[in-house]
Amino acid sequence: MQSLTNKPGSAITQSLRGMALSHPDTIKVHFDPDFVERLAPARSGKVAVISGSGSGHEPLPIGYVGLGMLDAACPGPIFTSPSPVQLLAAVHSVDHGGGVLFVVKNYAGGVLNTELTIEIALQEGIDARYVLVNDDVSIPKVANRRGLGASALACKIAGAAAESGYTLAAAEEVTRRAIASSRSMGVGTNVNTLPRNGPNDNLADDSIELGVGIHGEPGEVRSVSKGMPEIVDLIVHPILHDLPFASGDRVLLLISGMGGTPPLELYLFSEAIHELLAAHHLRVERQLIGNYLTCLGRGGYTITLMRLDDELLQLWDAPVHTPVLHW
């Protein structure tokens, strides 16, 4: 079968239409400029939470639109930030008078477009701010760290805070804390469905690529002939040591496939990671496993740990009704 993603422009529009048809009780989709908006009414004065992202990472961010999470999400072209025109249209549509909080992955284009959007919104008298997601421990310099799994977690925390009446400043603060408490690592297994060819296209069977990004950014090729426990060690140790997580910490564990990894493999991985976390006396209080942020159809996964405190746990557990998360 021909890959639908070979025609990015029309694929995005058609996929958005399909998404609206699939979740008619949760979201509505606007075109030209493109953004997805929640259907659940919001009370006046509620902080609006918006996230934009290049397409190709679904369900991030559009699958997280709905009650208790995002008020709107803006999908850009494949792996390319949405424009300020899209972001501003979303602002105008979902501002309820309580200000706007953007959740932004740390990539140059997204930051540039969000900062400009905020400047225009402020000139229009709309209070707007952004939080930067930079949880990728594979990048040594913190300022350069990319946004990975914490992007989805931050949208949940921000959305729950906004829904439960936090002010803009308070929602921003708790979302920053959620991000600061999160660390992630991406690992690639194969790249056969990526639109762009890179230097590590043909990984040997006993090799992984450590520290890959979600746009096909290459990582470091490592031979892992000893199987899952060795893979998990390579991925999880940098995460644990970076924050650092300590014995007894309560954590939220997110295991996300990158789009081309079968659930069977994710659960293989889950077994090994649970053993390792137990050995470090970390208490996995909440977890998600599945496709939560992807890289089109590449093989691989991202692991995210967020250290929980009472407030973060309460916000995580708060009701949510989106195409992807609902409880």
Partner 1 sequence: MAQEITTKQLRKWLLVYAARIIENEDHLTKLDTAIGDADHGVNMRRGMGKLQERLQVERQSEDISAFLRSVAMTLISGVGGAAGPLYGTFFLRAATSPTNGSSIDLPQLTQMFRYGLDGLQQRGKAQADDKTMIDTIQPAVEAMEAAVAAHQSAAVVLAAARQAAHLGMKHTIEIEARKGRASYLGPHSIGHQDPGATSAYFLFETAAEVLTITGAD
Residues that bind partner 1 (CB under 8 A): 83-85, 109, 112-113, 115-116, 119-120, 123
**Active-site residue flag, 57:** yes
**CA–CA separation, 157 and 5 (whole Å):** 31
Minimum CB–partner distance for residue 33 and partner 1 (Å): 9
Beta strands in 2-44 (DSSP E): 27-30, 35-38
Minimum CB–partner distance for residue 118 and partner 1 (Å): 11
The residue with tokens 């829904």 is 163
Nearest to 257 by CA among 294, 213, 205: 294
Closer CB to partner 1, 19 or 88, in the complex: 88
Q: Which residue in 23, 57, 96, 280 is the catalytic one?
A: 57
Minimum CB–partner distance for residue 105 and partner 1 (Å): 16
Minimum CB–partner distance for residue 208 and partner 1 (Å): 24
Q: Which residue in 23, 92, 96, 215 is the catalytic one?
A: 215
**CA–CA separation, 251 and 309 (whole Å):** 9
**CA–CA separation, 145 and 194 (whole Å):** 22
Closer CB to partner 1, 25 or 32, in the complex: 32
**Active-site residue flag, 23:** no
Closer CB to partner 1, 121 or 251, in the complex: 121
CA distances, 262 to each of 67, 180, 227, 299, 302 (Å): 30, 30, 17, 9, 14
Minimum CB–partner distance for residue 236 and partner 1 (Å): 31
| Kind and range of the H or E run holding 300 | strand 300-307
Nearest to 260 by CA among 314, 195, 315, 317: 195
Closer CB to partner 1, 149 or 211, in the complex: 211
Closer CB to partner 1, 116 or 313, in the complex: 116
C-alpha angle 77-263-287 in degrees, rounded to nearest 5: 85
Active site residues: 57, 215
